[in-house]
Structure 1
Amino acid sequence: MTQQHSPDLLIRNDREAAIAGRAERLAASFAKRAPQHDREGSFPFANFAELKEAGYLKLTIPLAFGGEEASLYEFVLSQDRLARGDGSTALAVGWHLGQLMQLRLSRLWPEKLFEKLCEEVVSEGALFNHYASERATGSPTRGGKPETKAVRVNGGWLLSGRKTYSTLSPIASAFTVSATLEGEDVVGEFLVRRSPAVTVEETWDTLGMRATGSHDLLLNEVFVPDEETVFAGGAPRKPKQPDEAGALLHVPACYIGIAYAARDFAIDFARNHKPNSIGKPIAELPHIERQIGEMEAKLIAARGYLYFVADRWDRSPDQREALKPELGLAKHIATNGAIDVVDRAMRIVGGAGLAKSLPLERMYRDVRAGLHNPPMDDAVIQTLALRALQGE
Structure 2
Amino acid sequence: MDFQSKATLEERLLLMDELSKRFSTRAHKVDIEGSFPFENIQDLIDTGYTALTVPKKYGGQEITLLEMVQLQEKIAEGDGATALSIGWHMGIVKNLAEKELWKESVFEKLCEAVSKGALVNAAATEPTTGSPTRGGKPETIAIKKGDCWIINGRKTFTTMSPMLDFFIVSATISETTQVGNFLIPRNLEGVIIEETWDSIAMKGTGSHDLHLVNVVVDNESYVEQLGREAKRANGWLLHIPACYLGIAKAAKKHAIEFALTYSPNSIDRPIVELPNVKQKIGEMELKIMQAEYFLHAVAKQWDVSDEQDREKMGPVLGAVKLTVTNAAIEAVDLAMRIVGARSLSLKSPLQRYYRDVRAGIHNPPMDDMTVQILSSYAIQPYQPL
Q: TM-score normalised to the size of structure 1?
A: 0.93
Measure the CA separation in 2 of the matches of 1:14 and 1:161: 44
Q: CA deviation at 1:241?
A: 8.0
Q: Contact 1:148 / 1:159 at 8 angstroms: preserved in 2? A: yes
Instruction: Give secondary structure in 1 for the equivalent of 2:381.
Output: coil
Alignment partner, residue 63 of structure 1? 56
* Amino acid corresponding to residue 184 of structure 1 in structure 2: T
Alignment partner, residue 3 of structure 2? none
Matched, 1:79 2:72: yes
Q: CA deviation at 1:196?
A: 3.4
Measure the CA separation in 2 of the matches of 1:80 and 1:96: 15
Q: 2:184 aligns with which of 192, 204, 218?
A: 192
Q: Contact 1:61 / 1:68 at 8 angstroms: preserved in 2? A: yes
Measure the CA separation in 1 of the matches of 2:224 and 2:65: 27
* Amino acid corresponding to residue 21 of structure 2 in structure 1: A
Alignment partner, residue 335 of structure 2? 345
Q: How does 1:225-244 map to 2 (within 5 A)?
A: 225-231=218-224, 239=229, 242=232
Q: CA deviation at 1:175?
A: 1.3
Instruction: Give secondary structure in 2 for the equivalent of 1:283.
Output: helix
Q: Contact 1:181 / 1:232 at 8 angstroms: preserved in 2? A: no
Matched, 1:314 2:303: yes
Q: CA deviation at 1:14?
A: 6.8
Q: 1:336 aligns with which of 326, 331, 334?
A: 326
Q: Contact 1:60 / 1:70 at 8 angstroms: preserved in 2? A: yes
Q: Contact 2:101 / 2:224 at 8 angstroms: preserved in 1? A: no
Q: Contact 1:180 / 1:187 at 8 angstroms: preserved in 2? A: yes
Matched, 1:212 2:205: yes
Measure the CA separation in 2 of the matches of 1:122 and 1:240: 32
* Amino acid corresponding to residue 82 of structure 1 in structure 2: I
* Amino acid corresponding to residue 151 of structure 1 in structure 2: I
Q: Which moved more, 1:44-53 or 1:311-320?
A: 311-320
Q: Contact 2:118 / 2:165 at 8 angstroms: preserved in 1? A: yes
* Amino acid corresponding to residue 80 of structure 1 in structure 2: E
Alignment partner, residue 115 of structure 1? 108
Q: Contact 2:295 / 2:320 at 8 angstroms: preserved in 1? A: yes
Measure the CA separation in 1 of the matches of 2:338 and 2:291: 20
Alignment partner, residue 367 of structure 2? 377
Show CA shifts across 1:282-333 (max 9, x none).
0001100100011011110111111011111111224212221111111111
Q: 2:352 aligns with which of 351, 362, 369?
A: 362
* Amino acid corresponding to residue 152 of structure 2 in structure 1: S
Instruction: Give secondary structure in 2 for the equivalent of 1:390.
Output: helix
Alignment partner, residue 91 of structure 1? 84
* Amino acid corresponding to residue 330 of structure 2 in structure 1: D
Measure the CA separation in 1 of the matches of 2:138 and 2:314: 26
Q: 1:133 aligns with which of 105, 120, 125?
A: 125
Q: CA deviation at 1:232?
A: 5.7
Identity %: 49
Show CA shifts across 1:52-108 (max 9, x none).
111110121101111110111001111011100000000000000111011001111
Q: 1:145 aligns with which of 137, 140, 151?
A: 137
Runs of 4+ residues over 2 Å off in structure 1: 239-242
Q: TM-score normalised to the size of structure 2?
A: 0.95
Alignment partner, residue 274 of structure 2? 285
Alignment partner, residue 259 of structure 1? 248
Gaps of 5+ in 1: 1-12
Measure the CA separation in 1 of the matches of 2:66 and 2:134: 28
The verdict on how the C-alpha distance between 1:252 and 1:273 changes in structure 2, with shifts beyond 3 A counting, is same
* Amino acid corresponding to residue 366 of structure 2 in structure 1: M
Measure the CA separation in 1 of the matches of 2:150 and 2:305: 42
Alignment partner, residue 175 of structure 1? 167
Measure the CA separation in 2 of the matches of 1:316 and 1:179: 32
Measure the CA separation in 2 of the matches of 1:50 and 1:172: 15
Alignment partner, residue 40 of structure 1? 33
Instruction: Give secondary structure in 1 for the equivalent of 2:317.
Output: helix
Alignment partner, residue 50 of structure 1? 43
Measure the CA separation in 2 of the matches of 1:56 and 1:232: 30
Q: Contact 1:106 / 1:241 at 8 angstroms: preserved in 2? A: no
Show CA shifts across 1:355-392 (max 9, x none).
11121110011000000000111111111111111127
Measure the CA separation in 1 of the matches of 2:339 and 2:97: 44
Measure the CA separation in 2 of the matches of 1:357 and 1:332: 30
Instruction: Give secondary structure in 1 for the equivalent of 2:365.
Output: coil
Query: What is the RMSD of the two structures over their aligned residues, measured on CA atoms?
Result: 1.6
Alignment partner, residue 9 of structure 1? none
